[in-house]
Amino acid sequence: MRKPLGHWDVPCVLATTLSSFLLLSNPSPRATSVARINKVKPVRCPCLDLCLYPVPVSALHPGASHTSFTTTHAIPPIPSQITGIMSTNGTSNGHAASRRPLPCGIYAPTMTFFDPVTEELDIPVIKKHAERLVRDGLVGLVTMGSNGEAAHCTREEKAAVTRATREALDAAGFAQTPIIVGATEGSVKGTIDLCKIAQEAGGDYVLLLPPSYFRAQMDEEAVHGYFTAVADESPLPLVLYNYPGAVSGIDMDSDLLIKLAKHPNIVGTKFTCGNTGKLTRVAAATDAKTPRSEGSGYMAFGGMCDFTVQTLASGGSGIIAGGANVMPKVCVKVWNLYAEGKTEEAIALQKTLSRCDWVLTRSAVPGTKQAIQAYFGYGGYGRRPLKRLPEVAVNSIRDGIKEVMDIEKSL
């Protein structure tokens, strides 16, 4: 029997075959949302006295062909010998059981730190930084993103960074803090391989850009095919990464993102494009999770902290922000103020945060690392060919974010 639900975020399906059926417990909003997105209506099962949503099993596990039903009511827990075959990796692939959920709030795409002379990974500093961020209120971390210089790291180094981050969080008492891992490669096969490496290193989810090397061939059909093919095989759920500046201008529109959201192993999007209108449309169509509602469990992430309030007002779920490497407490404060209904205070602090975050955005990875160096005593440099900034530029960055860093120190 094919292992069912390898890509479900929460087991909640009555899976039937021609001759047998399997009961899985604990219904989830994400599961019923997939039924809703696929436009199916509930039916009543008189034998079990349950309200059921008929869903093609291809929506649950690609390649399967029998009919399945997502339940809107809990089914009693099933024996361990059955739950043991729930997925291909021995865990539930999403927001339940052994997988750490993605909470609403602020995440940082962590920097990858190197020895300033040899450019080898500086694992102790990588661990120190991860611990500082979660102690300052971040709800999750992203390794091997753009700020993590994924493009400069080997597969072995990527795994080492994620593994070190997981070890640091666990040792500091943050074992439930999720890690999203950047896992993009140019081919479907390479990306699937990297997703598996991310899982083995301790990642909970993967963050994927669209492929862009052969830009002229990457039309909407090709991009859709890439993500669905990876989602079919990845042992970790996917968060899509819409960042046109990093992929030769490929900018996924809301129609494509909503279409991709129908795949049960695609659980979110990061909008580094900064298009809050697009974020609003996707969040509404997917019934995204917010501070006030679990919704479907889909995560709509703003991609920079300079539009935190705008993301919340648009129905967003969280922020994955490079600036949170430097001023995590202020990022969290803006989020919490708005979520608590203190709108005017949130907007006022957002203005300060946006002014200072622009200093970091302009100076990119080298500037962000030097800001960390100036205020926290570590940071260093990016790997070549990234340039080392002259002293005048470093001083300008330090002075340019002083306003927000004074607030950071007061929190």
Residue 304 to residue 241: CA distance in whole angstroms = 12
The pTM score is 0.79
Each residue's pLDDT tens digit in the chain (411 positions)? Answer: 323 333 333 333 333 333 333 333 334 445 545 554 555 544 444 444 444 445 444 444 444 333 333 333 332 332 332 222 223 333 333 333 358 999 999 999 999 999 999 999 999 999 999 999 999 999 999 999 999 999 999 999 999 999 999 999 999 999 999 999 999 999 999 999 999 999 999 999 999 999 967 677 779 899 999 999 999 999 999 999 987 877 767 888 999 999 999 999 999 999 989 889 999 999 999 999 999 999 999 999 999 999 999 999 999 999 999 999 999 999 999 999 999 999 999 999 999 999 999 999 999 999 999 999 999 999 999 999 999 999 999 999 999 999 999 999 999
Beta bridge partners of 50: 45
- C-alpha neighbours within 13 Å on the C-beta side of residue 338: 27
Which one of 127, 158, 259, 270 is the catalytic residue?
Answer: 270
Domain spans in the chain, listed from the N-terminal domain onward: 13-83, 105-347
What was the pLDDT predicted at 34? Answer: 52
Alpha helices in 122-154 (DSSP H): 123-135
Contacts of 208 (CB under 8 A, 6+ apart): 182, 183, 184, 191, 227, 230, 238, 239, 240, 241
Residue 316: closest CA among 292, 334, 347: 292
d(CA 384, CA 253): 34
Whether residue 11 has a cis bond before it, omega within 30° of 0: no
Per-residue pLDDT, 217 = 77
Q: Is 128 a catalytic residue?
A: no
Measured CA to CA, the distance from residue 36 to residue 42 in angstroms comes to: 10
Given a contact cutoff of 8 angstroms between Cβ atoms, the answer to whether 83 and 76 are in contact is: no
Instruction: Give the pLDDT of residue 51.
Output: 42
Instruction: Tell me the CATH number for domain 105-347.
Output: 3.20.20.70
Q: Which of 291, 250, 289, 298 is nearest to 273 (CA)?
A: 250
Within 8 A by CB and 6+ apart from 90, the residues are 84
Tokens describing residue 17 = 């075959």
| CA 201 – CA 404 distance, rounded (Å) | 35
409 CB neighbour count, 10 Å cutoff: 11
